[in-house]
Amino acid sequence: MNYEYILNPSLIRPLVFRFKLSLKAAWILGFSLVVSLIGFYVFQISFITQASFTLANLEKQITGLNKEFKNLQLNLSGASSLSGLEKALVANGYEKVGKIHYIQVLESTAVAK
């Protein structure tokens, strides 16, 4: 292995700093970096705020749908019970049957279609 580059710093120095950066260019580069970072920060804050409002609206919708679901379950359990069925039949005009009379057909008679 050749350790000549490690032991001789004069060979490393020209490799590291090949170009000279002026003070004006450094200020312009720094200012543009700060402006771009501030713009990116504002964009991120806007995105986070929009996402939080969307999340809050969705949570409100979930809460409302859960309440509606519970109400529908209560209505379904009330309607599917026997007392609810009896009330629905009376409301639709059905009457309770007292005695059932059947028609009797004798075996000796012919039935026409």
Which whole number is the average pLDDT over 78-96? Answer: 76
Which whole number is the average pLDDT over 100-108? Answer: 77
Tell whether 103 is covered by a domain: yes
| Full-model pTM | 0.46
Q: Which two tokens stand for residue 36?
A: 């771009």
Name the nearest CA neighbour of 59 among 51, 47, 48. Answer: 51
Tell whether 50 is covered by a domain: yes
Q: Which two tokens stand for residue 5?
A: 């580059």
Tell whether 16 is covered by a domain: no
Of the chain, the percentage scoring pLDDT greater than 70 comes to 75
Per the structure, how many domains does the chain have? 1
Look up the domain containing 103 and give its range: 22-113
Tell whether 1 is covered by a domain: no
Question: What DSSP state is assigned to residue 12?
Answer: H
Q: Would you say residue 67 has pLDDT above 90?
A: yes
CB-based burial, 76-85: b 16+ in 10 Å, e otherwise: eeeeeeeeee
For the chain, the C-alpha Rg in angstroms (whole number) is 44
